[in-house]
Amino acid sequence: MTRVIFAALIILGLLSLGACMPYLVGSDRPRFDASEYVKPLADGDYIFSREIPRPARLVGKGNQTLLTMVNEGGDEMTFVGGFVPLNKTEYFLYQVTDAIEKGALAKKKSAGETSYAPVTITADGVATWFSGPSECDTVCAAFLASHGIERDRANNTTVPDGLTRERLLAFYEELLPVLEAGGEEWVFARMKPVAK
């Protein structure tokens, strides 16, 4: 499975990517250790709302967070990773290091293959996952280049080997306000806790 397909799985398993999403970045290895993860969301049941609301479950396992949801085909997918805090209380980067599909680990191009997704989380536990623009225009391309993020011929964005974790954090810290300003068009989905 190529990095592109794995990244598509990581983008929360509910989307068949017809267009690139330049701000959902892939890497050949994790840039953050599990000890750096925080738990801004409580374990429990959630509703993951995009076009069709779907059930989701969040479970902490050690330092990691397991996010399980049902994809469009009706199969469960579990994403293994964690939330890395950014420079504002509600800003996070979700680092995904593995995906479990139909009870088995999804195949990856390399053992360390990792994907990143920007997310905001409110005090009442509502997570907003951002996709950003469906195409990368000249402003987008310049923004990526200014942070050292690379694009390949297929417009997939990756973290090059020499890019430090600090630069990756700075990229997402500068990006999240831009994504928020983009309005609903750049929101991928919202995840809300199920009322008890």
The domain locations on the chain are 3-193
Name the phi and psi angles at 147, rounded to 5.
Answer: -105, 5
Q: What is the pLDDT of residue 16?
A: 32
- The per-type count for the chain, helices as H runs and strands as E runs, is 3, 12
Q: pLDDT averaged over consecutive 10-residue blocks of the chain (196 residues)?
A: 41 40 82 94 91 89 90 80 93 89 70 85 93 81 88 77 88 89 83 88
C-alpha pair distances (Å), 183 with each of 78, 136, 179, 188, 191: 28, 17, 7, 11, 17
Q: What is the pLDDT of residue 21?
A: 72
How far is residue 193's CA from residue 85's CA, in Å, rounded to a whole number? 20
pLDDT tens sequence across 125-174: 999 988 777 778 888 888 888 988 888 776 678 888 888 889 999 999 99
Q: What is the pLDDT of residue 162?
A: 81
Please choose, from the candidates 58, 69, 64, the residue with its C-alpha nearest in 3D space to the C-alpha of residue 11.
69
**Residue 17 neighbours by CB under 8 Å, 6+ apart:** 4, 8, 11
Q: What is the pLDDT of residue 67?
A: 92
Q: What is the pLDDT of residue 38?
A: 96
Q: What is the pLDDT of residue 5?
A: 36
Q: What is the pLDDT of residue 19?
A: 43
Tokens of 63: 């330092």
User: Distance between the two ends of the chain, CA-based, in angstroms?
Assistant: 39
Contact 84, 114 (CB under 8 A): no
Q: What is the pLDDT of residue 102?
A: 73
The pTM (predicted TM-score) of the whole model is 0.85
Q: What is the CA radius of gyration of the chain?
A: 15
